[in-house]
């Protein structure tokens, strides 16, 4: 097995693990909402789990690349230059999905859960639009909704000072579910931080496989099972 095949196989396994993590993380707030309320779309934790960043972006869009990367290895039917090239090209879809997952996760972490941003706390207050992602402002990524005593988001970000976003201004916050508000905030933070990490890792693996796939296509792969090139 060449280094290209070994690296491709490792990337395929990594993508498989990451897409499973993405799907599970995305499903957590959906399941909690159904268990608590007995129905979907009623008092959800946030709008953003319904954008399916983990199920679609970090999950379904990664399956083609993961499948091809696992197949394009020693003794597999796709163990050839074409298989390596396809494993590289399919990772473009992985990168698009990972970027989508990252953008939605960042936007979700900036906004916070629904309980912190609306009085109605229902999906009737959600606006599902891709244009919302372009309005993301990373400079507001301070998680004030999680650390403040009250999670009501400030209405005027322009008046925020450095002292207002420093850790000294934060209260001690332990991860506990002693109230519905804390439960929603903790689940929201855990899920979307996890999805952000999954998206970043998938992005890195995708770029890695694009490079190694083209290299395997140019340099060739193992010709015989009993011979290591």
At residue 225 the predicted structure's pLDDT band, cuts being 50, 70 and 90, is very low
Give the whole-angstrom CA distance, residue 73 versus residue 79.
Answer: 5
Residue 143 lies in a domain: yes
Phi/psi class of residue 52: alpha, beta or left (left: φ > 0; alpha: ψ in -120 to 50)? Answer: left
For 183-208, what is the mean pLDDT? 94
Residue 215 lies in a domain: yes
Question: What is the span of the domain harbouring residue 32?
Answer: 3-125+132-219
What is the number of domains present in the chain? 1
Q: What 8-state DSSP symbol labels residue 32?
A: H
Residue 186 is encoded by which pair of tokens? 């903790």
Residue 190 lies in a domain: yes
**pLDDT tens-digit series, residues 32-44:** 888 877 776 677 8
Residue 225 lies in a domain: no
Residue 93 lies in a domain: yes
**pLDDT tens-digit series, residues 53-107:** 999 999 999 999 999 888 876 555 666 778 788 888 999 999 999 999 999 999 8
Residue 226 lies in a domain: no
**Could you tell me how many helices (H) and strands (E) the chain has, helices first?**
6, 0
Q: What pTM did the predictor assign?
A: 0.78
pLDDT for 76 equals 59
Residue 80 is encoded by which pair of tokens? 């050839």
Residue 224 lies in a domain: no
Q: Is 226 helix (H, G, I), strand (E, B) or coil?
A: coil
pLDDT at 144 over 90: no
At residue 121 the predicted structure's pLDDT band, cuts being 50, 70 and 90, is low
């Amino acid at each position: 097995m060449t280094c290209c095949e070994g690296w491709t196989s490792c990337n395929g396994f990594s993508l498989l693990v990451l897409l499973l993590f993405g799907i599970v993380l995305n499903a957590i707030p959906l399941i909690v909402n159904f268990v608590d309320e007995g129905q979907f779309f009623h008092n959800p934790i946030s709008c953003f789990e319904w954008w399916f960043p983990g199920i679609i972006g970090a999950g379904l869009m990664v399956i083609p690349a993961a499948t091809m990367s696992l197949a394009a290895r020693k003794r597999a039917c796709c163990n050839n230059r074409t298989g390596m090239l396809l494993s590289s090209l399919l990772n473009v879809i992985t990168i698009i999905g990972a970027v989508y997952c990252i953008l939605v996760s960042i936007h979700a972490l900036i906004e916070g859960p629904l309980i912190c941003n609306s009085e109605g706390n229902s999906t009737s207050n959600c606006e599902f639009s891709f244009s919302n992602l372009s309005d993301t402002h990373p400079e507001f990524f301070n998680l004030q909704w999680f650390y403040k005593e009250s999670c009501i988001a400030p209405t005027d970000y322009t008046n925020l000072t450095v002292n207002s976003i420093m850790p000294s201004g934060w209260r001690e916050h332990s991860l506990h579910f002693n109230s519905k508000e804390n439960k929603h905030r903790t689940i929201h933070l855990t899920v979307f931080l996890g999805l952000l990490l999954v998206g970043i890792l998938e992005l890195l693996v995708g770029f890695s496989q694009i490079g190694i796939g083209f290299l395997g296509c140019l340099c060739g792969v193992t010709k015989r099972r009993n011979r290591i090139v």
